[in-house]
Structure 1
Amino acid sequence: MAKPRWHHMVLESQRHALKAVDEWNVSTGNYGDFLTHMHKAWHYLLHAEFHRDGVDYHYRNRQTGRYELIDGEPKAWPLEECLKRRYPDPADPVRLNVELFVQLRNKVEHRYEHGLKVVTGGKAQALVFNYEREMVDHFGKTYSLAECLRFPVSLQQLTASGREEQRVAAARLPQRTRDLVARFEAAIGDDVRDDLRYDYRVRLVPIVGRKTDADLAITFVNLDELTEDERQTMTEAGRRGVVVTRDKHVEVADKELHRPADVTRLVNDQVPFAFKLHHHTAMWQRFKVRPRKCDPKPHATDARYCVYNEAFDQFVYTDAWVKKIVNTIGTVDKYRAVFGSDPEGRVIQLPGQQTTEARAADLSA
């Protein structure tokens, strides 16, 4: 007996999902291909659901009632429309998770794909887990991908150098890509951002002690299957731990970011002596918050204190950097400890007047 059409659509969906996971796990994989294949996997899966349930997922002409055609075939709903029909609640974590990757799909540049993979890693895990759950819930365990997948071996989260590499890779992401994620998350609530269906974060804890035949290399704990006391213990452990961290991106679009001359002015307003451009240069060099001007990797900044503005080829600094400077050299004794000399007297300047030094700072610092 011939299989129904939805069955073949499901198999095509599975094929793309497995190719996506392979691209993620292999060391030479391409993150852009991961996004493309997961996009197609979700698209085929939802079309299969609609087809099986008798839902017409094609566009019709409002006047004639006939199908709109593309290359002689009825025009089907894109993934964005499928998500709206399958998850009508715009705040649904599963819908939001897939919608984020729909937007990111066209933003991947090859040289930055590793950084994007680092920043969106937990969300990518949720994208795959949600897909598996959707598949099993609607078509049964026989269509599960569980037997085909294995937990990948990775060193990046387990070594200090690996963690530093990830931080640097994330810092190199183009501003437009970081802004896309920031804008997307700024529009959703904390409850959704903390939902595992939107961002799946895990903690790896080595197991010691005698091994039994029932032990697996990886054991997954479902919070929903724990008692209230167990869930509270696991949640608190997650909050206190330092094994894996996630940077929270907040949309700023250059708001509250300062040029070098602005930093010196803000620091001068808070310390009882003169703070000049050469002091600022010495401070960012001391704390290694950014590379030098001629460095081929200008994005490798400490994002807490400094960001590289690609459009203007300039480094700009955060309020946190101003605060750190004041806390570090804000008294005479602290100044001496850092610079090894007494501070200079304050330079008086008329309101609205900009010194030659300040003008040069914006061009060269």
Structure 2
Amino acid sequence: MAGTGDESLSDDDHRRVAQEMFDRWHAGEPKSALEIEYWDNPTSHGKAFTAYVKKWLGVATEGRSRQAQRIEVLERMLRVHGISPSDSDELSVEYLLVAKARESALAALRAFNDPSSGYRTEQFILLMVIAWNSVMQAILERDGNDYFDRDDEGKVKKVDGRSRVRDTDQLIGLVGEGRMPAAAAENLRHFLRLRNLIAHRYLPALDAPTAGHAQSMLINFEELLVREFGAEAALGDELYLPLQIGKFQREPELKRIQAQLPLDVIEFLDQERRDVPEEILGDTRYCMRIFFVSTVANRERSADAAVTFVRPDEIGEELLAALPHTAVVTKAKRVAVASDDLLRPSEVVEKVRGRIDVRFTMDTHTRCWKHFKVRPPGNAAEPEATDQRYCRYDKLMRGYGYTPAWVERLVRDLSDSLIYESIVGRPG
């Protein structure tokens, strides 16, 4: 086969060969064996392979000392902060854009968490849109993709002598859904529309209704930043909970605050909720709902932390479905509970029947709780051994009550004809 410097091969051919060799080496084949097969070279002992792959793929395949690795990490840290590692190393455009993106996002975070600010949402949106623009341009610049606005003749448009970048919505399309999930892209577009609506207006009451979207926007941004430019680009090792002088706002208070907004802004927020598809509306990358749970430690110093954060992708689908109906979370244990929020089986049947298009009876309900194992069968030795997200045993009444989350679970799952048939044994 052709040698490493064979002039009969084009650059694309060399890159293809290098990629093929690299893939085989990565799968476990020795470098020396590949050198013999491809170049009939039994004397290089891996050096020719290393140089060839480095030249054509830009990938290092030789072990480096811990010091060299540490230096490389430090250099990357300097670059993402907009600092050149050496006087002779001019910082590339992509890293200047990454530094700008990070600084703008951190400024947005400081503005939103400033207790004296009455203009926090407007500042946050403005600065985060700049951050998103910058990081998307950095990705496109690094990958060699054109992101400038051009006229019908293909010439780059100019604004005050400078090349004009495409607008944010177009950049989202250029970056692509592979890098920006649909819910994250819709979250950014939500803030773009809101920015245009509230420009030059002072609306402190907007902070509470948009806090969940803002949290998602910040997390989406950092996830993209770290995924594309490494852990060194992260905004911070920890996200601290801002201290509150007043109490946390509950749903009635949020509605009262939102009622203070101008009618066109209220209509915009309501219309957004109506227009956004259900699968995106419920995605934490579009809007994050945060539940604060007050707990008491058994001993004065036994608590690990005042607040514990659990990432959405680390908890199950059923728990996410149950959270909107949960007022208090306690230590998991088998207890007898009598609660006004529990539903009788007949009430479950009535609620579910009104929301699905298939037949749902008391017999169907019995088949469902058996299928999903939400409670033990009758005369069980431990009748209280239920899945308390969906069902609880009332010892005094010697019966079972079902939670609103159980109704939601049934409506969601039984709307799927295949699931319905697998439980009931026949089509609906």
Q: Please give the range of the TM-score, normalised by the shorter of the 2 chains.
A: 0.5 to 0.7
Cα offset for 1:186?
2.0
Aligned: 1:150 with 2:240:
yes
User: How many residues matched?
Assistant: 236
One-letter identity of the residue aligned with 2:95: H
Cα offset for 1:165?
5.1
Tell me how far apart the structure 2 counterparts of residues 133 and 157 of structure 1 sit (CA, whole Å). Answer: 31
TM-aligned CA distance change 1:44 to 1:133, over 3 Å: same
* 1:57 pairs with one of 147, 171, 186: 147
One-letter identity of the residue aligned with 1:239: P
Tell me how far apart the structure 2 counterparts of residues 198 and 157 of structure 1 sit (CA, whole Å). Answer: 26
Cα offset for 1:217?
3.5
TM-aligned CA distance change 1:213 to 1:5, over 3 Å: farther
One-letter identity of the residue aligned with 1:103: R
Instruction: Choose 1 or 2 for highest CA Rg.
Output: 2
Aligned ranges 1:90-105 → 2 under 5 Å: 92-105=182-195
TM-aligned CA distance change 1:211 to 1:102, over 3 Å: farther
What root-mean-square deviation, in Å, do the aligned CA atoms of Structure 1 and Structure 2 show? 2.7
Bigger mean CA offset, 207-216 vs 16-25: 207-216
Question: In the TM superposition, what whole-angstrom CA distance separates every residue of 1:259-299 from its partner, at most 9, and x where no partner exists?
Answer: xxxxxxxxxxxxxxxxxxxxxxxxxxxxxxxxxxxxxxxxx
Cα offset for 1:108?
2.6
Cα offset for 1:82?
0.8
> Which position in structure 1 is the counterpart of 2:170?
81
Higher relative contact order (CA 8 A, sep 6+): 1
Bigger mean CA offset, 181-190 vs 32-41: 181-190
SS at match of 1:8: helix
Question: In the TM superposition, what whole-angstrom CA distance separates every residue of 1:153-199 from its partner, at most 9, and x where no partner exists?
Answer: 12555377xx7654322101111111222223322211111110001
Q: Is the 8 A contact 2:125 2:191 kept in 1?
A: yes
TM-aligned CA distance change 1:190 to 1:236, over 3 Å: closer
Tell me how far apart the structure 1 counterparts of residues 225 and 301 of structure 2 sit (CA, whole Å). Answer: 32
Between the aligned residues of both structures, percent identity stands at 26
Q: Is the 8 A contact 1:112 1:173 kept in 2?
A: no
Cα offset for 1:214?
9.3
Aligned ranges 1:33-52 → 2 under 5 Å: 33-52=123-142
One-letter identity of the residue aligned with 2:208: V
TM-aligned CA distance change 1:109 to 1:59, over 3 Å: closer
Cα offset for 1:211?
7.5
* 2:324 pairs with one of 236, 239, 255: 239
One-letter identity of the residue aligned with 1:235: L
SS at match of 2:184: helix
Q: Is the 8 A contact 2:213 2:287 kept in 1?
A: yes
Cα offset for 1:88?
4.9
Aligned: 1:68 with 2:157:
yes
Runs of at least 5 residues in structure 1 that lack an aligned partner in the other structure: 244-365
Aligned ranges 1:169-184 → 2 under 5 Å: 169-184=257-272
TM-aligned CA distance change 1:45 to 1:171, over 3 Å: same
Q: Is the 8 A contact 1:87 1:95 kept in 2?
A: no
SS at match of 1:147: coil
* 2:226 pairs with one of 136, 140, 144: 136
Tell me how far apart the structure 2 counterparts of residues 157 and 190 of structure 1 sit (CA, whole Å). Answer: 31
Tell me how far apart the structure 2 counterparts of residues 26 and 82 of structure 1 sit (CA, whole Å). Answer: 30
> Which position in structure 2 is the counterpart of 1:23?
111
> Which position in structure 1 is the counterpart of 2:408?
none
Tell me how far apart the structure 2 counterparts of residues 100 and 197 of structure 1 sit (CA, whole Å). Answer: 12
Question: In the TM superposition, what whole-angstrom CA distance separates every residue of 1:226-279 from its partner, at most 9, and x where no partner exists?
Answer: 4x5xx52x3354132247xxxxxxxxxxxxxxxxxxxxxxxxxxxxxxxxxxxx
Tell me how far apart the structure 2 counterparts of residues 196 and 103 of structure 1 sit (CA, whole Å). Answer: 19
Tell me how far apart the structure 1 counterparts of residues 270 and 255 of structure 2 sit (CA, whole Å). Answer: 17
TM-aligned CA distance change 1:78 to 1:159, over 3 Å: closer
* 1:189 pairs with one of 247, 269, 277: 277
